[in-house]
Amino acid sequence: MSRVLVIGAGGVSSVAVHKMAMNSDIFSHITVASRTKSKCDAIAASVKERFGVTIDTAAIDADDVAATTALIKQVNPVLLVNLALPYQDLTLMDACLAAGVHYLDTANYEPRDEAKFEYSWQWAYQERFKEAGLMALLGSGFDPGVTSVFTTYTKKHLLDSIETLDILDCNGGDTGLPFATNFNPEINLREVTAPSRHWDNGQWIEGPALTNKQVYDFEGVGPKNMYLMYHEELESLAKFYPEIKRIRFWMTFGDSYLKHLDVLGNVGMLSIEPMMFQGREIIPMELLKALLPEPSSLGPLTKGKTNIGTIATGLKDGVQKTVYINNICDHEEAYAETGNQAVSYTTGVPAMIGAALMVTGVWKGEGVFNMEQLDPDPFMDMLNKHGLPWKVQELDAPLAF
């Protein structure tokens, strides 16, 4: 029985809070606090209507460490679940240290004024969390999160050693809109337009964004174009699995999405450099975010499935094998259960599971942890029980590319 404080009230938060309310034996009391309180109230109303559970709401600016520390002390949770934006990771970690509570997030820190994400800023909190006897769990979403746990599970149960790892992220969902991003537009567009990078024999290989294209036939979706990209779990996987020679991340994009991205980039709308417009400073990317649909509004529109998984090659008992672990999630089923589409669902459910394992003490530690460092088995069990079932297949051959 544990009190939790969830920060942020977007699509991911909405799913996580609904799933926490469905598990009130684990989460005895939930408070949701975010910049816009009305969005917290909307989540609370939906939770009340669906499951009869009452949750508290509050307004908070999570960039303000003193105000957040005061809120944590007032709510008195054992764990703060950060489902705001990567910009808030460090201020929220500071507030957790000041108030003496554990911390969990789903995306690594990214400075607002530079399109760059890496773990160094959060790994630098290791000693402070250790000294305080607190645990910070980084990246408990799907990717990062479940993909890291799939890898740990592969190493624990399926292969004696992993030689190559490919993460395949397919969103076969269609909103019917010409252009929309399925999670926070600003964070999504910064990630997608970054140069590609993958791990190869102990070094990072960089290339221009969205140029290495392959076709993969995804179960439940069909053949899709997928593109080599950099993604944050590559950094932690390369650190915790030095044995893996090559680690790559692939994400599917439709032609219409890429055409819009091209045009928006060409006219300067993806820039994060401030500019003057009619006497006031604006950032083109922030203006674009305001124009695009909110991811939390896409639930009723999205049809189709996501299919995300890991393909690993390596040796088992001296024999070369290729194993694929994946989950298929249906947008409309996710919406029926929580009022949110599958990309929010596949992130919010692992956030709830990570939180459950921490508050029940199944996953515990002092310091800053990535998902790869923890026992995959209880997490994999909970995925099956809480809406993200997975399966293991042995493939006949490694990927041909």
Greatest Cα-to-Cα distance within the chain, rounded to the nearest angstrom: 69
Smaller CB separation from ligand NDP, 249 or 322: 249
- Selected from 29, 79, 86, 379, the binder of ligand NDP by CB under 6 A is 86
Rounded Cα–Cα distance for residues 395 and 322 (Å): 5
Ordered alpha helix ranges (H), 125-204: 126-132, 146-153, 185-192
CB of 302 to ligand NDP, least distance (A): 13
Told to check if 142 binds ligand NDP by CB under 6 A, we report: yes
Using an 8 Å Cβ cutoff, are 172 and 304 in contact?
Answer: yes
Told to check if 306 binds ligand NDP by CB under 6 A, we report: no
For ligand NDP, the binding residues in 47-66 under the rule CB under 6 A are 60-63
Please say whether the dihedral angle defined by the alpha carbons of residues 244, 312, 248 and 110, taken in this order, is positive or negative. Answer: negative
Told to check if 77 binds ligand NDP by CB under 6 A, we report: no
Told to check if 167 binds ligand NDP by CB under 6 A, we report: no
Told to check if 137 binds ligand NDP by CB under 6 A, we report: no
Peptide bond into 144 cis (omega under 30): yes
Percent helix, strand, coil in the chain, to 5, is 40, 30, 30
- The neighbouring-strand residues paired with 59 are 34
- Selected from 43, 80, 85, 328, the binder of ligand NDP by CB under 6 A is 85
Told to check if 31 binds ligand NDP by CB under 6 A, we report: no
Helix (H) or strand (E) holding 296: none
CB of 10 to ligand NDP, least distance (A): 2
Told to check if 376 binds ligand NDP by CB under 6 A, we report: no
CB of 184 to ligand NDP, least distance (A): 4
CB of 13 to ligand NDP, least distance (A): 6
Angle among Cα 10, 57, 121 to the nearest 5 degrees reads 55
Point out which residues bind ligand NDP (CB under 6 A): 7-13, 34-36, 39, 60-63, 83-86, 88, 106-107, 141-145, 183-184, 187, 295-296, 347
